[in-house]
């Protein structure tokens, strides 16, 4: 009887130990599982925060936008962009002007007579985020090409700083500045620069307090 009791006791102890071991193992798995879920949640939150930050970083407060027919204004815009950074966007007409400066004069004059608003390809996203807008164009018939008027009337410039720059074969920039101010009276339109040499860009920007 005693031997049988001892055998039964040993079996009971072994079973008890096995049950306790299984319970401990299940508890450990549960803790690890919970830890994995917490880690996953933290990783997801960190990823979402990083994505939001990256999107915010991509939206600049500075825009260099220009219309260029022969490429002269484009070259100036690209040089200016090196100093001020931000986004660089070209204004492109839906109906292209004839190639060459002289060939474009007649259509440009006709648009001016008709006070036309040539259609622009596409739109500018996040325009509201821009605080300073550098606006480049060639001087056509004493002022801005009419496509610049289209651009100015396509967006809300209230409270924005507009910095004009232009290229020209001889005509000054003064009339175009007046016309821009008339188009966007709620903007701060700064004194523009008629660029004859790219070396003029940096001192002009510094004089306006736009770069250090």
**What confidence score (pLDDT) does residue 34 get?**
47
**What confidence score (pLDDT) does residue 170 get?**
85
Domain that holds residue 24: 1-58
**What confidence score (pLDDT) does residue 73 get?**
98
Residues 11, 44 within the same domain: yes
Q: What is the pLDDT of residues 37-73, one digit of tens each?
A: 454 455 444 444 443 334 444 679 999 999 999 999 9
Residues 23, 117 within the same domain: no
The stretches in the chain having pLDDT less than 50 are: 1-10, 12-16, 19, 22-23, 25-37, 39-40, 43-57
pTM: 0.73
Q: Give CA separation, 200 vs 111, 186, 205, 206, 207, in Å.
A: 31, 28, 9, 10, 11
Residues 193, 94 within the same domain: yes
**What confidence score (pLDDT) does residue 58 get?**
67
**What confidence score (pLDDT) does residue 41 get?**
52
Residues 72, 15 within the same domain: no
Residues 52, 89 within the same domain: no
* Within-domain flag for 212: no
**What confidence score (pLDDT) does residue 42 get?**
52
């Amino acid at each position: 009887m005693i031997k049988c009791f001892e055998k039964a006791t040993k079996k009971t102890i072994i079973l008890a130990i096995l049950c306790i071991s299984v319970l401990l193992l299940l508890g450990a798995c549960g803790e690890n599982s919970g830890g994995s879920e917490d880690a996953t949640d933290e990783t997801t939150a960190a990823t979402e925060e990083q994505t939001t930050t990256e999107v915010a970083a991509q939206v600049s407060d500075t825009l260099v936008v220009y219309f260029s027919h022969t490429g002269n204004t484009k070259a100036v815009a690209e040089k200016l962009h090196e100093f001020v950074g931000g986004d660089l966007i070209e204004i492109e007409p839906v109906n292209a002007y004839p190639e060459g400066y002289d060939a474009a004069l007649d259509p440009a004059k006709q648009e001016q007579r008709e006070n036309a608003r040539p259609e622009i390809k596409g739109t500018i996203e996040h325009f509201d985020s821009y605080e300073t807008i550098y606006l480049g164009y060639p001087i056509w018939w004493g002022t801005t090409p009419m496509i610049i008027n289209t651009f100015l009337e396509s967006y809300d410039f209230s409270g924005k700083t507009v910095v004009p720059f232009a290229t020209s074969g001889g005509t000054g920039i003064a009339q175009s500045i007046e016309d821009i101010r008339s188009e966007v009276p709620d903007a701060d339109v700064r004194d523009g620069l008629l660029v004859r040499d790219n070396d003029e860009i940096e001192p002009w920007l510094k004089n306006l307090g736009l770069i250090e």
